[in-house]
Chains A and B, each alone.
Chain A
């Protein structure tokens, strides 16, 4: 470990957000996202975690505080970000390959290299046979994979995910978690992953932030070895980490 802490990739400094006359949705949060780290954010429904994600994306402007990127500029939406919603939000009138290329085609005409990259992503996610299909012809898990490919097509340095696998069955979710980790490790993408599933957060995250009523009540490092494997889910260390997060969530934690 170097003595001088590296500049954080995204620095959330005293950020609050809310509507006048109502309690703040996000209330004075300080959090540093390290470059290349996998950050999970857990909390109950309505605790403000999606709002914090949108603030980090620059889709919302904080009422007070600042969100600063590594180069000192404030967070702003744009193609340098990958974003994945709760629903796959594919465009059902475009083929899967065109959906994956959407972030490119909104900027410029896709080149052969873009097409190759899109095919490569679909390959890695097991969708190579579906490139010419329409989204409605795909299963829920396949649609989520296509959405992941779309989020990764521009090789964003920061990937923001808002409970992207919440609607999937447990086995498909597990597969997608492994896919996501593999893709992000390959590119050392910085990730902010919002979920209400403690097991998912511990399995994926290097660090797990716990939100409660708009505040960040805990920032728990997960000391499981990387790369994570599905077998780890049944080990004692995994369950201990889950228990710590659970305690922090229910208010008995540090």
Chain B
């Protein structure tokens, strides 16, 4: 007997139990696969669609939109955060517009983007970028604003230029906050990409879900959802690992 159960084992056991209950319920109650397919049916669909190569281009499209949107929106958010933190004039000028642009639900803009950018990857990338912009900007702005005044004074004392103070003090000091923003943005990017595909795309996992709905192929819908969940988990873990790696010196007694 082990004295303490490993939490990972517990989590895996819970997952297996939930799947078993789901499987049993569907079989016992005779629920139609159209309403709720059994996990076994979902796995079978997943296996065949991955094996036949049907899903891969869609996975590629969703990943490309997500990563491009994240890169563009994240970079723009970082740059805007730095600009607003460094210049109170820019802050006063741009902040209201930035806030308004974030108060408007961006998913509601998707039909407009289709109108402007056509059916394809571009409208989805633009929307994903818009969604990723805000967490990066907000966290950069906060992170750069919270630098210890003694450290700022130290840099002044040492005759550091403004660029040196920004690059060698403010950005590294704000890095934990910036990376937390990135972690939020990664998750939002996936949501943005999939929802964008709902509205105006012929490729991508969002488009697969819409197509499966049209064909009343619920197992395919679940298969696509499973893939989306896996992508989300992997990307989140990747962001977490990047954070741990970069922040190692910041941790106590690493």
Q: Which A residues are closer than 8 A to B by beta carbons?
A: 57, 59, 77-79, 81, 83, 85-87, 89, 91-95, 102-103, 106-107, 134, 136-137
B5 within 8 A of A: no
Most chain A beta-carbon neighbours within 10 Å: one of B156, B157, B168: B157
Most chain A beta-carbon neighbours within 10 Å: one of B159, B160, B168, B169: B159
The stretch of B80-88, B111-119, B205-213, B245-253 that contacts the partner chain: B245-253
Most chain B beta-carbon neighbours within 10 Å: one of A89, A94, A107: A89
Question: Known pairs A89-B151, A136-B249. 9 more at Cβ < 8 A?
Answer: A59-B153, A59-B156, A77-B157, A91-B169, A92-B250, A102-B158, A103-B158, A106-B159, A106-B164
| Contact yes or no, B150 A87, CB < 8 A | yes
Q: Which B residues are closer than 8 A to A by beta carbons?
A: 148, 150-151, 153-160, 164, 168-169, 172-173, 175, 249-254
Question: Once the chains are docked, how many angstroms separate the CA of A122 from the CA of B153?
Answer: 24
| Contact yes or no, A89 B252, CB < 8 A | no
| Contact yes or no, B254 A137, CB < 8 A | yes
| Contact yes or no, A106 B160, CB < 8 A | yes
The 7 closest A-B pairs by CB, nearest first: A134-B249, A77-B157, A93-B172, A89-B150, A85-B150, A106-B160, A93-B249
Question: Once the chains are docked, how many angstroms separate the CA of A103 from the CA of B159?
Answer: 9
Question: Once the chains are docked, how many angstroms separate the CA of A77 from the CA of B159?
Answer: 7
- Residues of A contacting B160 in the complex (Cβ-Cβ under 8 angstroms): 106
Most chain A beta-carbon neighbours within 10 Å: one of B158, B159, B251: B158
- Residues of B contacting A107 in the complex (Cβ-Cβ under 8 angstroms): 159
- Residues of A contacting B251 in the complex (Cβ-Cβ under 8 angstroms): 136
Closest Cβ of chain A: how far from B253's Cβ, in Å? 6
| Contact yes or no, B158 A93, CB < 8 A | no
Partner of B252, one of A79, A91, A136: A136
Please give me the residue from chain B that is nearest to A134 by CB atom: B249
Closest Cβ of chain A: how far from B169's Cβ, in Å? 7
- Residues of A contacting B155 in the complex (Cβ-Cβ under 8 angstroms): 106
Please give me the residue from chain A that is nearest to B251 by CB atom: A136
| Contact yes or no, A59 B151, CB < 8 A | no
Please give me the residue from chain B that is nearest to A147 by CB atom: B154
Question: Once the chains are docked, how many angstroms separate the CA of A107 from the CA of B160?
Answer: 8
Q: A59-B153, A89-B148, A136-B254 are in contact. Are A79 and B158 (CB under 8 A)?
A: yes
- Residues of B contacting A81 in the complex (Cβ-Cβ under 8 angstroms): 157
List, sorted by A's number, 28 A–B pairs whose CB atoms are closer than 8 Å: A57-B157, A59-B153, A77-B156, A77-B157, A78-B157, A78-B159, A83-B154, A83-B157, A85-B150, A85-B153, A87-B150, A89-B154, A91-B151, A91-B168, A91-B173, A93-B172, A93-B173, A93-B249, A94-B249, A102-B158, A103-B158, A106-B164, A107-B159, A136-B252, A136-B253, A136-B254, A137-B253, A137-B254
Question: Once the chains are docked, how many angstroms separate the CA of A83 from the CA of B151?
Answer: 11
Question: Once the chains are docked, how many angstroms separate the CA of A136 from the CA of B252?
Answer: 5
